[in-house]
Amino acid sequence: MSEYSFNKLAVVTGASSGIGLATCAELLGKGVKVIAVSRTCGGLTPLIQAYPVHLQWFQADVTEEADLNRLRDFTQVQGTVDFLVPNAGVAMLSAADDHDAFERQWQINGKAALQVFRKLSVLMSPGASVVFVGTFLRQIAFEGLGPYIATKAALSALVKTMAVEFSKRGIRINMVSPGPTKTAIWGGLGLSEGELQVVADGVSKRLLTQEFLEPEAVAKVIAFQLSNGASGVFGQDWVVDAGYSLI
């Protein structure tokens, strides 16, 4: 696509693993310069070797304001931000009425995503495009993930009004809500291997493909939503879940 070139700069958080890592690879493959943000370098090493000039890893904890200030200053030196994907997120098992669990997950999934946007939106010009990352569960139930779902549902609701407000500055804002995707987030839930397998089997049965999505399948939709190909799309939350929420 013509709007993709090495003159364009993207910032992706949660870039060391899973969907964020795949998004970095997708954008780099399209010729975009990428600042990849995460606490650890994780799976980024092969990409850094493949794109030594166009990919820069920026170590930061998105919940730390000082880190985000450093990120803004670092990014400012590179130029304007054309694409932003505040993707860093965590999922924790908890009872639906555990408001402390909501608070802990909101710090990363909600507050930090918004803070990343606030710090970097000052570096955006008309034509910039932002994609937040939600979840396929935002309109349905999933036992043990109530507070996690609520953090993403709140963000999804905010995206609509943010899209209206920031359209006045020429910034386009949308969201992609991934379905069950083969990433480390599931292993971090704290389930035993056996318990996780039972959950995975139950989830897979509802997928029209019968298997979890590859992170690349989500990354391609994020990249399209960022691009001018989606220039008429504002404030939408696209579910990419292999049909899970249809049934």
* DSSP state for residue 221 in the 8-state scheme: H
Q: Secondary structure of 136-185 in the HEC alphabet?
A: HHHHCCCCCEHHHHHHHHHHHHHHHHHHHHHHCCCCEEEEEEECCECCCC
Q: What is the DSSP string of 49-116?
A: HH-TTTEEEEE--TT-HHHHHHHHHHHHHH----EEE--------B-TT-HHHHHHHHIIIIIIHHHH
As measured in angstroms, the least distance from the Cβ of 161 to ligand NAP is 20
Nearer to ligand NAP, 35 or 108 (CB): 108
As measured in angstroms, the least distance from the Cβ of 62 to ligand NAP is 4
As measured in angstroms, the least distance from the Cβ of 157 to ligand NAP is 16
As measured in angstroms, the least distance from the Cβ of 168 to ligand NAP is 27
Nearer to ligand NAP, 40 or 231 (CB): 40
Q: 81 is written with which tokens? A: 């931000």
3-state secondary structure of 132: strand
Nearer to ligand NAP, 109 or 121 (CB): 109
- Distance from the Cα of residue 153 to its chain's centroid: 14
- The rounded distance, in Å, linking the Cα atoms of 42 and 34 is 16
Question: What residues make contact with ligand NAP under the rule CB under 6 A?
Answer: 13-20, 38-40, 42, 61-63, 87-91, 108, 133, 135-136, 178, 180-181, 183-185
Nearer to ligand NAP, 109 or 227 (CB): 109
Q: 25 is written with which tokens? A: 């690879």
As measured in angstroms, the least distance from the Cβ of 137 to ligand NAP is 7
Nearer to ligand NAP, 87 or 156 (CB): 87
